[in-house]
Amino acid sequence: MILKIIPFLVTMLVAIGMFKGAGGIDLLSRALSPILTPLHFPTDLLPLALMRPLSGSATLALLTDIVHRLGPDNIVSLTAATIYGSTETTFYVAAVYFGAVGVKQTRHAIPAGLLADLTGVVASVIICRAVL
């Protein structure tokens, strides 16, 4: 079973590293900032929200960075922690677990997972702003 999972895991981690190393996250953050600012979505959360469906460890590193920069009691830090707990690593789960059991047609699994992630991010921002 491990021999079936490892190629999918390595491929996913290399792709994430390349995207992050090439500045893809920063480019997307700058491009989406004019849209998200009027919606009162903190731009500090954008890299976290974009990375979460891809990698749990990269998201944890981003969350740690946010908490160290802004402090643990900052609303952005608390919202980031809520996003971390309210979303899933959709592509990671699909690549590793579907690949391990040989699922070729994911059908609605990826769109449903991404919609659930988006719902978790939006709900986290709204609820944290209302409560804090």
Answer yes or no: is pLDDT of 47 > 70.
yes
Mean pLDDT of 44-49: 90
Which of 6-15, 42-51, 65-74, 85-94 is predicted least confidently?
6-15
- Domain-by-domain residue ranges, the chain? 2-131
At 77-121, the pLDDT tens digits run: 999 999 999 999 998 888 888 878 888 888 898 999 999 999 999
CA 75 vs. chain centroid, Å, equals 18
- How much is the pLDDT for 76? 96
Tell me the C-alpha distance between 118 and 101, whole Å: 27
Mean pLDDT of 38-50: 89
- How much is the pLDDT for 1? 62
Helix axes 2-21, 24-36, angle to 10 degrees: 60
In this structure, the number of other CB atoms found within 10 A of the CB of residue 98 comes to 16
Beta carbons of 69 and 81 less than 8 angstroms apart: no
Tell me the C-alpha distance between 24 and 118, whole Å: 19
Mean pLDDT of 61-67: 91
- How much is the pLDDT for 58? 81
